[in-house]
Amino acid sequence: MEKEQDSKMSKEPVGRLMLTMGLPIVLSMMLQAVYNIVDSAYLSNMWEAGEEALTALGLAFPIQLFMVAVAVGTGVGTNALLARSMEQGNQEKVNQTAGNAAFLGFVVSVIFILVGIFGVPAYVNSQNAGGGISEIVIQMAIDYLQICCCLSFGIIFFSIYEKVLQSTGRSFYSTIAQITGAVINIVLDPIMIYGWLGCPEMGVKGAAYATVIGQIASAALAFFFHIRLDSEIENRILYLKPSASIIREIYAIGLPAIISQALLTVMTYGLNIILGKLPQVGENAVTVYGLYCKIQQMIIFAAVGIRDTITPVVSFNYGMGNKKRIRSGIRCGMIFTAVLMIAGTLLIELVAVPLTEFFSLSDLSYTMCIDCIRIVSAAFIFAGICIAFQGVFQAIECGIESLLISLGRQVIFILPVAWLLSRFITGPENVSIIWWTFILGEILTLLCTLVMYRRAIRKKIGKWEDTKS
């Protein structure tokens, strides 16, 4: 199986290879975005306080992002170490890596349970420094986030066993697990939010329970597939014993992924504070931004899927010294990304109004949301290309450059600019100024990325002319 995969990587036309590898990843990630949107739609259409519930989700979102960052980073490190150990024929290390991954999943789950019990109220209230967000929103956010944190083991263990299944070549089964969880979430949302089929009406708490139940179902199914199908890995209690060297190796690989993803947490948290202080429209702005974060994931996740396709294709051929296929991989990745981003931009721009009408919003939030969609979506093409370059940098062992892209587009060129532009906002009439932050941030990041790319290629590959066929 491994030889067959290597043959594909080295001989199959790069464009076709990237399509076959990337399509399932892109579809899986877009599915995740869709059920996040559905979640928000159900909440916004509650009998009362629907918009307040959306604002609460926006306040909870940074911690949810950080939870995913830690889980995915742990999974990425586990995946890489498992693949490397299997390639080396080190069965003991394979077993230890899988066991230590499970141990880490338990430790991370306990940490987030403690955050849920003791840290959530302080965290939520810290985003209301300006006092522009109502107490009902604050309480909703606390209720929602405490449930998500205290039952976080679902998303954590799914992220780990998803990567374990991928390391053994069984990514199809991890996709089945993810789809199953998404469907369960979507089905349970109206039942638990609105109190259908005899279930008590739980509002925002119902949305939280529907989310975590779906995540737990995904984790349980992924673990079941692992136990039944991953014959390459021996699962015994003794392998759960923590090994400092194994854990160090997992996070040596996974920590950059955690940091990169965690920067999105920093950006979202910072923007919630900045937006919450806007005169007259603070709560509305937080609502709109939180909602747009969910909507734009549908397009941005597609770029992330292409990035995760670029990395293995370019990485394999970089290791083989095949410059021709490296160049082809980069070119195809950029073309696919650009096409997806342009199509996504056009789609979002065209459906901005009917998409916004899908949610129950006040007149002010409705107008702000349409403005936000139409302005920020213009940044998709720049964001997508930056994300694709991250995959290239990771493939040619330029992790610092990849991290700098995340820093640029999520912190350095966003938060200071957003704070500065917010000084010019006096009320609803000019609030759209703030949304231009994202376009400016992505353009500046892309310019820096192109400079880093030229230097990295010169250093790592040299002249393209020295190419092997």
Considering the domain architecture, whether residues 6 and 151 belong to the same structural domain is answered as no
For 430, which DSSP code?
Answer: G
pTM: 0.87
Decide: 424 and 433 in contact? Cβ < 8 Å.
yes
Give the residue from 232, 263, 294 where a domain finishes. 263
Residue-wise pLDDT tens digits, 139-165: 999 999 999 999 999 999 999 999 898
Assess if residue 353 is contained within a domain.
yes
What is the per-residue DSSP string for 341-380? HHHHHHHHHHTHHHHHHTS---HHHHHHHHHHHHHHGGGH
Give the residue from 236, 263, 290 where a domain finishes. 263
228 CB neighbour count, 10 Å cutoff: 9
Cα–Cα distance measured from residue 247 to residue 459, given in angstroms and rounded to the nearest whole number? 32
The first and second tokens of residue 33, run together, are 């975005």
Q: In which band, very low, low, confident or very high, does the pLDDT at 7 lie, cut at 50, 70 and 90?
A: low
Assess if residue 229 is contained within a domain.
yes
Q: In which band, very low, low, confident or very high, does the pLDDT at 465 lie, cut at 50, 70 and 90?
A: low
Cα–Cα distance measured from residue 181 to residue 158, given in angstroms and rounded to the nearest whole number? 10
Considering the domain architecture, whether residues 308 and 429 belong to the same structural domain is answered as yes
Using alpha carbons, list the distances in angstroms from residue 71 to 165, 244, 320, 363, 407. 15, 19, 31, 38, 20
Considering the domain architecture, whether residues 161 and 231 belong to the same structural domain is answered as yes
With H, G, I as helix, E, B as strand and everything else as coil, classify residue 237.
Answer: helix
Considering the domain architecture, whether residues 201 and 233 belong to the same structural domain is answered as yes
Considering the domain architecture, whether residues 255 and 318 belong to the same structural domain is answered as no
Cα–Cα distance measured from residue 169 to residue 159, given in angstroms and rounded to the nearest whole number? 16
For 201, which DSSP code?
Answer: P
Assess if residue 377 is contained within a domain.
yes
For 314, which DSSP code?
Answer: H
Decide: 246 and 96 in contact? Cβ < 8 Å.
yes
Assess if residue 296 is contained within a domain.
yes
What is the per-residue DSSP string for 248-285? HHHHHHHHHHHHHHHHHHHHHHHHHHHHHTSTTTHHHH
The total of structural domains in the chain comes to: 2
Return phi, psi of residue 406, to 5°: -60, -45
The first and second tokens of residue 368, run together, are 């702000």
Decide: 268 and 351 in contact? Cβ < 8 Å.
no
Using alpha carbons, list the distances in angstroms from residue 387 to 195, 412, 436, 451, 465. 41, 16, 19, 15, 26
Assess if residue 403 is contained within a domain.
yes
CA–CA–CA angle 292, 32, 386 (5° rounding):
65
469 CB neighbour count, 10 Å cutoff: 6
Tell me which residue range forms the domain holding 288. Answer: 1-22+278-469
Considering the domain architecture, whether residues 12 and 158 belong to the same structural domain is answered as no
Considering the domain architecture, whether residues 79 and 207 belong to the same structural domain is answered as yes
**Rg, Å, the chain Cα set:** 22
Residue found by looking up tokens 């742990």 in the block: 74
Average pLDDT over residues 322-338: 90
Considering the domain architecture, whether residues 315 and 232 belong to the same structural domain is answered as no
Assess if residue 441 is contained within a domain.
yes
Using alpha carbons, list the distances in angstroms from residue 316 to 325, 364, 465. 10, 51, 19
Q: In which band, very low, low, confident or very high, does the pLDDT at 394 lie, cut at 50, 70 and 90?
A: confident
Considering the domain architecture, whether residues 450 and 342 belong to the same structural domain is answered as yes
Q: Is the pLDDT of residue 464 over 70?
A: no
Considering the domain architecture, whether residues 228 and 290 belong to the same structural domain is answered as no
Residue-wise pLDDT tens digits, 249-298: 899 888 888 888 889 899 999 999 999 888 888 889 999 998 898 888 88
Cα–Cα distance measured from residue 6 to residue 56, given in angstroms and rounded to the nearest whole number? 47
Assess if residue 334 is contained within a domain.
yes
Total residues found in the chain within this entry: 469
pLDDT of residue 149: 96
Higher pLDDT, 190 or 239: 190
Give the residue from 263, 288, 310 where a domain finishes. 263
Assess if residue 150 is contained within a domain.
yes
Per-chain mean pLDDT for the chain: 88
Considering the domain architecture, whether residues 206 and 350 belong to the same structural domain is answered as no
Considering the domain architecture, whether residues 326 and 400 belong to the same structural domain is answered as yes
